[in-house]
Amino acid sequence: MRAEKNKTTDNFYSPQNPKSYSVDEILSGGGATAFANKLGKNAKGIITSLSSLPNDAFLTDDELKDALVVLNENK
């Protein structure tokens, strides 16, 4: 008897359970642009979307450092 494939693991992306990537994974993939290209995403579209956000939507340098510490502690 042939085993049936697990349909949830056969899909690369599932809207119910989207894959997220760590900063280390993105950097090891060659940076944000190279990583987007490998995933078949358009880096220019991402840049355009980010440019349309207000300035207060982004983290300050100190907030980024704190956030990275929290992310690394909660792996």
pLDDT of 10 higher than 50:
no
Does 23 score more than 50 pLDDT?
Answer: yes
- Rounded to two decimals, the pTM is 0.37
Instruction: Tell me the residue length of the chain.
Output: 75
Range 32-59 burial, b when 16+ CB lie within 10 A, else e: eeebbeeeeeeeeeeeeeeeeeeeeeee
d(CA 66, CA 55): 19
Provide the pLDDT confidence category of residue 17 given band limits of 50, 70 and 90: low
